[in-house]
Chain A
Amino acid sequence: MDAMAPAPRTIGAVLRRIRFAGWPQLLALALVLAACRAVSPGFFHLRLVDGRLFGSLIDVLDRGAPVALLSLGMTLVIATRGIDLSVGAVMAISGAVAATLVNAGSPVAVAVGAALAAGLGCGVWNGVLVAILRIQPIVATLILMVAGRGIAQLITGGQIVTFDDRALGFVGTGSVLGMPTPVVLVALVAMSIALLTRRTALGLFIESVGANERASAYAGVGASVVLIAAYAASGVCAALAGLVVAADIKGADANNAGLWLELDAILAVVVGGTSLFGGRFSLLLSLVGAMIIQAMNTGILLSGIRPEYNLIVKAVVVLAVLLLQSPPVRNRLSRTGGAAR
């Protein structure tokens, strides 16, 4: 190797020179937002009414908050080469617990605490199945995905439990410093997880378990503990998302709360570039992924295209991202780049 690197000669080499890995996602977000601006000229307008910001952009952040919360936990799980299918059902359980307790006269702090504890419990259950009983993640979390909604309905007695508690409603519809509460929650959770994983060795451990579980166990990483912690974090994030959704509609709907959101969360993480084969993750890019999905939803609504096309657009986007990530395509890209070396 020369001390001075030769000038890059191919596009692939140029791209690899750009150190920042997230440019495709940011470019995609910019394109989607530009498309939104094209179909709705007032898209970037922001107004301050009664100390709270309003505008389509804020709506995207606000509506996208549940999926953004789920995607944070899901990122950690996918980084360990796992998957958590149960997050939608955990959302339903958490909403049911909080709504039932508030209606029974408990203080909001107790209701929220119990809902988060329920999420933590669900996450630890998933983690134990994966780490101790060695069940494949997709199957281990399938159990709670099937049974979880039943449990939520058991808690609500099979009804949609509505509540009229101001403080709990604040979680879904209030605002802090002009921003909607859900958006502030996402920012807080993202920062805490980022600090925990990037300022301590935890993030490194998660990546090493995802890359090679046996090797990291030999290297002294407590693989089981790391796995359980990842699933527990996902459970707590799902419980928070469940609280946001329940507080938003001031009711807990065990059948429909968080329905199909597990798929949106996985999609957000995959679009964000976290590899499904484990070993590397980016919380920030998962959030960008969640925002791309929500901006697409909002844009499709604003443009007047029938919302029925929403699912098809999502399917095509996820396939395109997967194909770019797939080993054969990546090999070909690096071969065209490697020829210059």
Chain B
Amino acid sequence: MSLRLLPLLVTIATFVLGAILCSLQFPHFASTRVFTNLLTDNAFLGIVAVGMTFVILSGGIDLSVGSVIAFTCVLLAILIERDHVPPFVAFAIALSVAGLFGAAMGALIHVFRLPPFIVTLAGMFFARGMCFVLTTDSIPIGAPLYAQLYRHAIDLPGHGKLSVIAIIMLLVVAAGMVIAHRTRFGTNVYALGGNRVSAELMGVKVGRTTIAIYTLSSTLAGLAGIVFSFYTGAGSSLAATGVELDTIAAVVIGGTLLSGGVGTVFGTFVGVLIQGLIQTYITFDGSLSSWWTKIAIGALLFGFIVMQRVLVAVAGRRGSLA
């Protein structure tokens, strides 16, 4: 069996095992309703994690995504509620602003050879600061579109309701899988993460690809912000703090190597589901406090990172990671 696929298999096995354990303990756990709620509650995380997968595959990191989500929410709330812009126009504006922001970060990283984490750290400060400049209040969004979207859902057998935002997330994951594995851009991202110098020698346009990667990540963070505003029905400048860490954790648990070059978008999706599963378990249990979520995610993160190190060491001895 190929070593490249092993992390993905371990991730899927972890999710399936976790789901079975939960269902054994709680009789009503195994239902389409719990599963669709899992998708709805983690829709914004899933969307932003797809973008983060591309960034990490290329050997970078994007710490600004949480702030970009919050900025998008606040911008939408102000455009829709204060300036009475039609929602879909507001969405287009928000996505373009987020995309330009990502492009600017990508350009700084490439042109000035700066470490991605410090550039995106400055981006995180900047976007969060822009939220506070726009407003420090939490603005409810009362547009009719939001109420319609909230009610609209596909009924599944067993009281499951596939909400609009869950469908958006599934579509983004599907599109991410196609882009990563079936397009030239996806191949370039893998090449860049595998070895930047050889990628450049092979003719990969490093600058263009880097800027595109961070543009994609920020645009998806903007889309996650739109979904987050559907989910909470408000724009708050304190929203989505710490989401960047949940996102990175989801990508790592999903089997993507942090050194870049190896990983899958589907694995990230399962990583998001595992985090959701931990939260759902704690909600079902009722007696466990929410801080156990953080400890459990930290422990999982540790376990998966150590497994990656072992795999890389084994692959190094065999001579290839294929």
Contact = CB atoms under 8 A, between A and B. Distances in A.
Contact of A153 (B129, B130, B245, B289): B289
Contact of A312 (B61, B129, B249, B302): B129
B298 A150 contact: yes
A227 to B, nearest CB: 16
24 contacts: A135-B309, A136-B258, A140-B305, A142-B249, A143-B298, A149-B291, A150-B292, A150-B294, A150-B295, A158-B289, A254-B291, A308-B129, A310-B129, A311-B129, A312-B125, A312-B126, A312-B130, A314-B125, A315-B122, A315-B123, A316-B126, A318-B125, A319-B122, A328-B111
A123 B292 CA distance: 22
Interface in A121-168: 133-136, 138-140, 142-151, 153-154, 158
A278 to B, nearest CB: 11
Given A147-B299, A263-B121, A322 B114 contact: yes
B309 A323 contact: no
A315 B130 CA distance: 11
B112 A323 contact: yes
A147 B125 contact: no
Interface in A286-330: 306, 308-316, 318-319, 322-323, 326-329
Interface of A: 83, 133-136, 138-140, 142-151, 153-154, 158, 254, 263, 266, 270, 276, 306, 308-316, 318-319, 322-323, 326-329
Contact of A328 (B113, B295, B297): B113
B122 A139 contact: no
Interface in B269-298: 289, 291-295, 297-298
Contacts of B136: 308
Contacts of B123: 315
- What 7 A-B pairs are tightest by C-beta distance, nearest first? A147-B298, A311-B129, A150-B294, A308-B132, A312-B129, A315-B126, A315-B125
- Mostly, the B contact residues are helix
Contacts of A144: 298
Contact of A263 (B111, B125, B249, B291): B125
B118 A145 contact: no
A66 B312 CA distance: 39
Contact of A329 (B112, B252, B295, B301): B112
B285 to A, nearest CB: 15
Interface residues of B, number: 42
Contacts of B252: 139
B4 interface: no
Contacts of A319: 108, 119, 122
A108 B118 CA distance: 39
Interface string B61-103: 1000000000000000000000000000000000000000000
Nearest to B258: A139
B306 interface: yes
Interface in B116-154: 117-119, 121-126, 128-130, 132-133, 136
A83 B294 CA distance: 21
Given A139-B252, A146-B249, A154 B111 contact: no
B125 A311 contact: yes
B207 interface: no
Given A143-B302, A149-B294, A319-B108, A138 B309 contact: no
A70 to B, nearest CB: 15
A266 B121 contact: yes
A269 to B, nearest CB: 11
Given A133-B309, A308-B132, A322-B112, 18 more contacts: A83-B117, A135-B305, A136-B258, A138-B117, A139-B252, A139-B305, A143-B302, A146-B245, A146-B298, A147-B294, A147-B295, A150-B292, A311-B128, A311-B129, A315-B129, A316-B126, A319-B119, A323-B112
Contacts of B117: 83, 138
A262 B125 CA distance: 13
A313 B114 CA distance: 20
Interface string B187-226: 0000000000000000000000000000000000000000
